[in-house]
């Protein structure tokens, strides 16, 4: 078994395609296929199931990937210590609901590696995609929320995908509005206060179930409703249309538009925001580092990190 073969396995999993992996590795597809088959033969396991949709990890392959990543991380640490040089591009991916604090932590992580070669991916995406990305190892971890309404459905799906939810913090629901919105100045707002304002939410594609919504109270009827696919567009509509959206209330001072403010929403609901990760794998050092930045940022905004993981 060679270190290079472990690199090949990790790259195939990250890209979900042996053809794409071969392009990124600058080798031919037949050469990559042969290297994988030789490794499978040597280890006496089948790492990948070859399907029309691409290369899918088997149960044995999932366990092997966990060991492969740990070996590669240790090799990196040894080479940094004794060679004093970077020999491998830093690779890291996160999938998340549309939370600015998650982006801010990712920015901090990237800055800590600005002298290195790296290939980082941050996917602000739909709820089901987050779960799928993490379960197929396209992302090392995912960030989403649970509450009394969606918890049963989401936890069932996580269990099926062999993922674990780790709570980070709880938040009382807030509404994001433009600082010019007539409601600004109130200490809190009610649902009746919001009745005549356009309601903005993130679309969930073919999984547009109430349980996959990024916003609590997703079953409520709204006179005026607008779905969007990205956070920048949502904020533009908040400002341009005096609209509102429901979220955790955590706004990044560095990354969010200064024209957006958060107002407490008077409802008997709590959001538990956390991260998901494959049950059979431990976080990489880079994953641990990102999680540390994430927690620091959350604490900076006055929230208490939950410790009952």
What is the domain-level CATH number for residue 82?
Answer: 1.10.10.10
Sheet holding 199-202, edge to edge: 225-228, 199-202, 244-247, 174-178, 260-264
The answer to whether residue 175 scores a pLDDT higher than 80 is: yes
CATH number at residue 184: 3.40.190.10
pLDDT in tens, 203-217: 887 766 778 888 888
Q: Is the pTM of this model over 0.85?
A: no
pLDDT winner (highest mean) among 13-22, 97-106, 201-210, 212-221: 97-106
DSSP conformation class of 110: H
Query: Given this model, what pLDDT does residue 163 score?
Result: 95
pLDDT in tens, 233-290: 888 899 899 999 998 877 766 655 578 888 999 999 899 999 999 887 778 888 999 9
Q: Rg of the chain over CA atoms, in angstroms?
A: 22
In a domain, 245, yes or no: yes
Mean pLDDT, all residues of the chain: 87
In a domain, 99, yes or no: no
Average pLDDT over residues 187-209: 87
In a domain, 298, yes or no: no
- Pick from 307, 306, 308: nearest CA to 169: 306
The answer to whether residue 111 scores a pLDDT higher than 70 is: yes
pLDDT in tens, 116-144: 777 889 999 999 999 999 988 788 999 99
In a domain, 304, yes or no: no
Last residue of a domain, one of 88, 111, 126: 88
Number of structural domains in the chain: 2
In a domain, 146, yes or no: no
Query: Given this model, what pLDDT does residue 256 score?
Result: 57
In a domain, 293, yes or no: no
- Pick from 176, 301, 166, 152: nearest CA to 247: 176
Domain that holds residue 234: 170-272
Query: Given this model, what pLDDT does residue 158 score?
Result: 95
The answer to whether residue 157 scores a pLDDT higher than 60 is: yes
């Amino acid at each position: 078994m060679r270190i290079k073969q472990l690199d090949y396995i990790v790259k195939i999993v990250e890209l979900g395609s042996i053809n794409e992996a071969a392009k990124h590795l600058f080798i031919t597809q037949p050469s990559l296929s042969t290297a994988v088959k030789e490794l499978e033969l040597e280890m006496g396991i089948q790492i990948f199931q070859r399907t029309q949709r691409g290369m899918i990890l088997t149960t044995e392959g999932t366990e092997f990937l966990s060991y492969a990543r740990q070996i590669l991380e240790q090799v990196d640490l040894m080479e940094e210590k004794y060679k004093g040089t970077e020999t491998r591009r830093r690779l890291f991916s996160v999938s998340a609901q549309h939370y600015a604090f998650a982006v801010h932590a990712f920015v901090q992580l990237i800055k800590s590696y600005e002298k290195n070669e790296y290939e980082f991916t941050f996917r602000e995406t739909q709820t089901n995609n987050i779960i799928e990305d993490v379960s197929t190892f396209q992302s090392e971890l995912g960030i989403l929320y649970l509450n009394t309404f969606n918890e049963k459905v989401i936890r069932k799906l996580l269990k099926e995908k062999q993922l674990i939810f780790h709570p980070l913090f709880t938040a009382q629901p807030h509404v994001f509005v433009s600082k010019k919105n007539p409601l600004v100045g109130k200490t809190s707002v009610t649902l009746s206060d919001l009745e005549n304002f356009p309601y903005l939410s993130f679309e969930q594609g073919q999984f547009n179930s109430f349980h996959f919504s990024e916003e609590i109270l997703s079953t409520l009827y709204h006179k005026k409703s607008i779905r969007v696919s990205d956070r920048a567009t949502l904020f533009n509509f908040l400002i341009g249309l005096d609209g509102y959206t429901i979220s955790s209330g955590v706004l990044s001072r560095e990354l969010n538009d200064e024209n957006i403010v958060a107002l407490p929403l008077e409802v008997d609901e709590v959001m538990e925001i956390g991260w998901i990760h494959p049950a059979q794998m431990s976080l990489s050092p880079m994953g641990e580092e990102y999680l540390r930045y994430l927690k620091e940022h959350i604490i900076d905004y006055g929230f208490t990190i939950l410790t009952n993981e």
